[in-house]
């Protein structure tokens, strides 16, 4: 069975790159970051955290210099980004693939000068991949998670599942998980507590716990 997933989150600095590394390791998947904004490159970080020798780390479609929203970083670099610029890499055909988005679902990838701003969620639809959503646990995360899940449901995007990232908060997790189960017919794939250190060993350990 082929596993190809898009990784997004309820916000920025959610741990998507760490979690992408776990998925790449578990599936021996190729990795692709369509839009990189700022350094260090997430592709290089994933490469350093993955132990298997089968994964390929594919070139970004856009590699922007400034660590900010893609629409603003592209303007600094005098680059225009359109949804039509993206298609799945040929190297990923018939292979497991993890695609990591930039920020959360509604991070803009262009400034709407063509009359319509495109967001990361539009890129997910364009690539037509099932989504894995990273849900962090903090004050306000229930609201951010359910707003994200509502948008996923409204657009009929296939949700493979969610991954909780952060110190356990059973009350918050229960509300979010109930929504995922009953509204999107999906599940929790993994629960990750706050890690003091991220290493190849950490990635391997979580990869062995992943439930797809």
The residue written with tokens 């359910």 in the block is 146
Q: Which of 39, 152, 59, 173 is nearest to 104 (CA)?
A: 152
* Joined tokens for residue 30: 């190729």
Query: Phi and psi (nearest 5°) for 72?
Result: -80, -40
| CA 112 – CA 119 distance, rounded (Å) | 10
Q: What DSSP string runs through 45-77?
A: HHHHH---SS--EEPPSEEESSSS-HHHHHHHT
Which residues are designated catalytic?
A: 33
Instruction: Judge whether 98 and 127 are in contact, CB under 8 Å.
Output: no
């Amino acid at each position: 069975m082929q596993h190809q997933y898009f990784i997004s989150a309820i916000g920025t600095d959610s741990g998507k790159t760490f979690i992408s590394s776990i998925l790449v390791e578990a599936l021996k998947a190729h990795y692709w970051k369509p839009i990189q904004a700022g350094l260090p490159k997430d592709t290089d970080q994933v490469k350093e955290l993955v132990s298997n020798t089968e994964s390929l780390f594919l070139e970004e479609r856009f590699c922007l210099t400034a660590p900010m929203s893609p629409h603003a970083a592209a303007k600094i670099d005098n680059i225009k980004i359109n949804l039509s610029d993206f298609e799945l890499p040929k190297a990923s055909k018939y292979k497991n693939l993890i695609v990591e988005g930039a920020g959360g679902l509604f991070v803009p990838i262009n400034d709407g000068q063509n009359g319509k701003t495109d967001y990361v969620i539009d890129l997910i639809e364009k690539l037509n991949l099932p989504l894995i959503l990273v849900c962090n646990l903090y004050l306000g995360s229930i609201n951010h998670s359910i707003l994200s899940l509502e948008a996923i449901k409204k657009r009929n995007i296939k949700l493979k599942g969610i991954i909780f990232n952060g110190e356990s908060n059973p009350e918050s997790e229960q509300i979010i998980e109930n929504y995922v189960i009953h509204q999107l017919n999906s599940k929790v794939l993994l629960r990750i507590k706050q890690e003091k250190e991220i290493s190849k060993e950490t990635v391997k350990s979580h990869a062995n716990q992943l439930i797809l």
